[in-house]
Chains A and B, each alone.
Chain A
Amino acid sequence: MQLATKDLLRLATIGSVDDGKSTLIGRLLVDTRQLFDDQLDAIAEASEKRGVGDLDLSFVTDGLRAEREQGITIDVAYRYATTPTRKFIIADCPGHVQYTSNMATGASTADLALVVLDVASGLKEQTRRHLCIAALLGVRSIIVAVNKMDAVDWSQLAFDRVVDEIVTLSRELDFTSVSIIPVSALLGDNVVESSNNLPWYDGPTVLDALESSEAGTWEHTTTQGARLPIQWVLRQPGGGRTYAGMVNGDTMHVGDRVTLLPANVETTITSINFGGDEIADATVGLAADLGLAAETNAGRGDLIATAPLPTVSNELKTTICWFGEKPLVVGQRLRLKHTSKVTPVRVKIINGVIDIAKLDIDDSTSLNTNDIGLATLQTADLLVVDDYRVNRVTGSFVLIDEATNATVAAGMVGHASFL
């Protein structure tokens, strides 16, 4: 059977605890018939066993024992859905503050955030926080499901009040595409089927909005030149070498003038291969390997780029989401992983912490767990970076605890424009 080729859209649910994120994803998957009969039966059985009705839709994604016992989402669940033209990778994220690192995990690769909030309570602090993190992570499109419309008697007034708040915040956070949809995740109104209970609303359903959003934006955030961080050097029969990595930023072609960084060697792409076969060009997202004209000693951690070139530096102005259990302080030493490069790093300056409610920077010389702040970092080795706002691959890094190897921070080069 020849199935049509599909594109790939990655989305993450965000918003405060209990506003209905997991229920909405459950509803979306059930109503688009993505679930198998035995999975539905198992969910019905688990719901009955735990006394939570016939079919607790949040159980579609809340699959861990502890999650079902406590009725909460602890970590991201990944679910998949397909329509005739699109494959969706859905990350259902937890809402609690203490699981912010898990939410960031789900949102860091998202093309789009599906924001869920309870119409009765409007924009809570935690919803603002998630929206702020999503914006920092470079998400530009959001679909806002104003949920539990059934509980406010499908009131247009209640909806409109929330819409105003969302529109104001979305402008501040520079989202470029915003759809706001009144829904009932519980009953299914405006999730897949449009609702008869909401005659005053004639916009898209959540599924309509998902199908018409732009896919593949997360690794395409730049028109600022092509990049290939070298992961591995392949020896070719006959003695040559090729440099393997995933292309991002822009397409690379045989014959392109490129610069190898940080060595700053200008050369030309002589060949592009994929899986041992020669190809003419490598588009964004392809794990290719390149042959270069110049004799170089390039290796893992170096970067091949076309103009405009990235910056080479060992001092970075960054935005940090800190997940460590103890505060991050000036002078602290960690390990930093940026593309395929790992280097020791020291915190030179902490410039402040973000006040989520006001979207301002408060003075601070340390960052507590789940704080987002601005910091200047000093690395042992030179890094080749772009500003995160133009490239989510060459602009991002993680900080690693040297003793435990745990990932303790998500970092972005530069500062968001709204700060």
Chain B
Amino acid sequence: MTTTPLRTSHTTDHLDLLESHAIFILREVVAECERPVLLFSGGKDSAVLLHLAVKAFAPQQLPFPVMHIDTGQNFPEVIDFRDATVERVGARLVVAKVQDSIDQGKVVDPGLMGSRNRLQTVTLLDAINDNNFDAAFGGARRDEDKARAKERILSFRDTFGQWDPRKQRPELWQLYQGKVNAGEHVRAFPLSDWTELDVWQYIERESMTVPDIYFAHDRDVVLRDGMYLAIGPFVAPRENETVERLTVRFRTVGDANCTGAVLSRASTLSAIIEEVALANVSERGATRADDKFSETAMEDRKREGYF
């Protein structure tokens, strides 16, 4: 890290307080747990998380590896960003592949076009077990979903990786305690109190880079279940669907076949911030097919051990 001129820091701004709180959590979990890992998808939230982790331990190297749960249905831009970022910060990258879980017969292959989103949980839990990780940092935010709104910053998982919303540990003050017995682990969410807008304002303030697909660009899409899906290796137009070339961007980054694009002309960070500040539709509502199945889709997935 370079040394910049002395600045007087005033932690009155809400972003400063969120940033320091997240750094505090990162340090606390690393100090208390034996083998932490940071879950890194290449999306904006995990990019912010990794940026904060680097700050928390600067000028030292990151004291833990980063792990990507690779569904094999990614946007290529995101994988490029993942590799470039990991290399820039000098982190060790662990990639756990859903394809391996399929090959081992642990989950059923949904086919080339089918969603592997829910299968990730099996791959994630196996990878946590195989590597003996006892803490996994995630970039989940409480404003994303009503089940996430209920989750502690340090979320305890039993030996099956399950979250039990009726048996959460009390979490008092900022006394985060992450001790677990063998086979159990904690998920730690340093961005819990951040909103989508906070994330974008922070990305702008820190002059961070994020994958290009967050910015407006022209793309071939089809309208399916009220969402624009990008045509590509994992999404082909169905019989009665017409392919349109539209100016779109992505608000979240998940699998190519269950992440919708939004119509947008926002091609700069400040335009994105303006768009997010005025949005009428939530981030997941606009873009995630995986949450549209039922009222408690996220709660059900989280109970099984999802991110």
Contacts and interface: CB of A to CB of B under 8 A. Distances in A.
A78 B142 contact: yes
Contact of B17 (A77, A236, A285, A398): A285
Contacts of A405: 177, 179-181
Contact of B14 (A87, A281, A398): A87
B170 A101 contact: yes
A279 to B, nearest CB: 5
A231 B179 contact: no
Contact of A80 (B24, B30, B195): B195
A82 B273 CA distance: 14
A66 B167 CA distance: 13
Interface string A374-411: 00000000000000000011001110100011110010
B11 A285 contact: yes
Of the four ranges (under 10, 10 to 19, 20 to 34, 35 or more), the interface on chain A belongs to: 35 or more
Nearest to B282: A36
B150 A237 contact: no
A108 interface: yes
Contact of B282 (A38, A61, A102): A38
A65 B296 contact: yes
B174 A109 contact: yes
Contacts of A300: 31
Interface string A239-252: 00000111000000
Nearest to B170: A101
A232 interface: yes
B150 A64 contact: yes
Interface string A74-92: 1111111010000101000
Interface stretch (A4-12, A154-162, A193-201): A4-12
B193 interface: yes
Interface stretch (A139-147, A257-265, A270-278): A270-278
B173 A275 contact: no
Contacts of B172: 104-105, 108, 396, 398, 407, 410
Given A38-B282, A63-B150, A392-B173, A246 B7 contact: no
Contacts of A7: 12-14
Contacts of B15: 5
Given A105-B171, A400-B177, A37 B281 contact: yes
Contacts of B104: none
B275 to A, nearest CB: 9
B192 interface: yes
Q: Choose among B15, B168, B175, B277 the residue with the greatest number of A CB atoms under 10 Å from its CB.
A: B175
B7 A1 contact: no
B175 A398 contact: yes
B24 A323 contact: no
B28 to A, nearest CB: 6
B265 interface: no
Contacts of A101: 170
Contacts of A1: 270-271, 273-274, 277
A279 B59 contact: no
Contacts of B201: 3
Interface string A84-119: 000101000000000001101100110000000000
A297 interface: no
Interface in B4-42: 4, 6-21, 23-24, 27-28, 30-32
Interface stretch (B50-58, B74-82, B230-238): B50-58
A5 B286 CA distance: 27
Query: Which among A1, A64, A232, A398 has the greatest number of chain B C-beta atoms within 10 A?
Result: A1
B17 A8 contact: yes
B72 interface: no
A104 B147 contact: no
Interface of A: 1-3, 5-8, 36-39, 42, 45-46, 49, 61, 63-66, 68, 74-80, 82, 87, 89, 101-102, 104-105, 108-109, 216, 231-232, 234-237, 244-246, 273-287, 300, 323, 337-340, 342, 392-393, 396-398, 400, 404-407, 410
